[in-house]
Amino acid sequence: MSASPSSSLVFSASSPRVRKWPRSARSTSNLLVHFRRSFPIVLASSGNASSSVGTAMSTEMDAVSSFSEIVPDTVIFDDFEKFPPTAATVSSSLLLGICSLPDTKFKNAVEIALANSECYEQEKSSDRMSCFFNKALVNVGADLARLVPGRVSTEVDARLAYDTRGIIHKVHELLRLYNEVEVSSERLLFKIPSTWQGIEASRLLEAEGIQTHLTFVYSFPQAAAAAQAGASVIQIFVGRIRDWARNHSGDPEIEAACKGGQDPGLALLVKAYNYIHKYGHKSKLMAAAIRNKQDLFGLLGIDYIIAPLKILQSLKESVTYPNEKYSYVRRLTPSSAKEYDFNDEELLKWDQRSLAAAMGPCAEELLASGLDGYINQTRRVEELFGKIWPPPNV
């Protein structure tokens, strides 16, 4: 289980008191929600890769949803009749988005976090802000868990990305807070960056029965190591890899895909899917940074596809039959994965040294950039909390 892209915050509700939040807080959030459709969802299952959807399907959305679960990528969305949510992600960027709007259902969850006596008793300002941040994440996550039937993925502080023990401690802390508000671990994922330390933390947490969501995967070695660790969800960013490849060179994995006439982002997802299914790993794959419908059609059969609302709206509005416009073929199946060939170098039992040696410049640069973004967002939230603390009536 990554994450993942309209204008009035989801689940908005009127409030008896509207509080002004600093203008610096008014930035977009990045609320990732899975949506329930009005038609049956048939998740990826084994079958013939050449089988197509029958002509009874009335829209492109119907067709693609029979092969993969489609996950709208949205900041703000208010048309629940069309796309009722089934799962969500709570993150630093979501907290910024909540604070930027004058009237949302989640504002109270943040203000309750800022009134927490346990946090107030922290002597250090940095410890106090970190405590407020954790409480706010969990309070909002708990509200989301009451509103959606699926799992809620909670971002783990990216400043801990290279600290396995720190990640595990943070997840245990968040899980304790979720237990206090009666959200069971079965409803939760913890979103961790795919550094080696993050992957190792995922392995240890999964061994405890805690579900993890590894993000910032930009190379096959990362994907394979994450699968070997038993991560519940592995998130790969198709468009970001493609963008890097258009403007850079010198990455052997990227160049091998391009030389074979493949899009490097799509090629990574296909290889990771085949690896997971050929060798019996439990991980589910999530495709993110989808830029067009062709990307989506090329990945049918993958577990989750995060797509922008403009693509989803187009799919929903396109009433067509398979032989009229596109051939809706399941591209990825567990049975076809068995025929995929891997070389000896790809079948390593990955460790820190081999992963570091195998990651190319694309993965290194995009991972570093992603971490910087998460860290900056977390700091902005903590700075914001410092400005508005204490909340009214406290």
Active-site residue set: 191
C-alpha gyration radius of the chain: 21
Q: Are the CB atoms for 18 and 102 separated by under 8 Å?
A: yes
Q: How far is CA 144 from CA 41, 92, 256, in A?
A: 21, 15, 42
How far is it, in rounded angstroms, from Cα 305 to Cα 20?
A: 37
H or E stretch covering 75: none
Contacts of 160 (CB under 8 A, 6+ apart): 166, 167, 170
Hey, which residues does 217 pair with through a beta bridge? 236
How far is it, in rounded angstroms, from Cα 18 to Cα 279?
A: 54
Angle at 280 between CA 271 and CA 199, to 5 degrees: 70
How many angstroms from the chain centroid is the CA of residue 117?
32
172: tokens are: 């245990």
DSSP 8-state symbol, 46: S
Per the rule left: phi > 0, alpha: psi between -120 and 50, beta: everything else, 259 is alpha
40: tokens are: 């049956």
